[in-house]
Amino acid sequence: MVVPSLVFLTALLLWGLAAAAAQIRCVDAARAGARAAAREEPDGAVLRAARSAAPAGAAVSVHRGGDLVRVTVEARSLSLTLHGEAVAAVEATGEGP
């Protein structure tokens, strides 16, 4: 009775660790995309930056509004929908007075 319980508990802990790792990858991917977007890189470069850090099959979206950019990453992993989002201020280009 004890051994099956320990096996179940170990499997549950491993599942939780894998889910946490995938969630962290979503947040990191959103941050990478937001940094690229804040540097005013083209949307293609922003999407590549975010997707390279995101879990496989993640959906990435970029929204620009005024001086802010918002990058959202959503992935399906381990029967969970994981979500990461980052907002960054657009950096000054150095042009102007």
Q: What is the pTM of this model?
A: 0.84
CB 54 within 8 A of CB 26: yes
What are the start-end ranges of the E strands in 1-97?
59-65, 68-77, 80-89
pLDDT in tens, 66-89: 899 999 999 998 789 999 999 999
CB 57 within 8 A of CB 4: no
pLDDT in tens, 22-71: 999 999 999 999 999 999 999 899 999 999 999 999 999 999 998 999 99
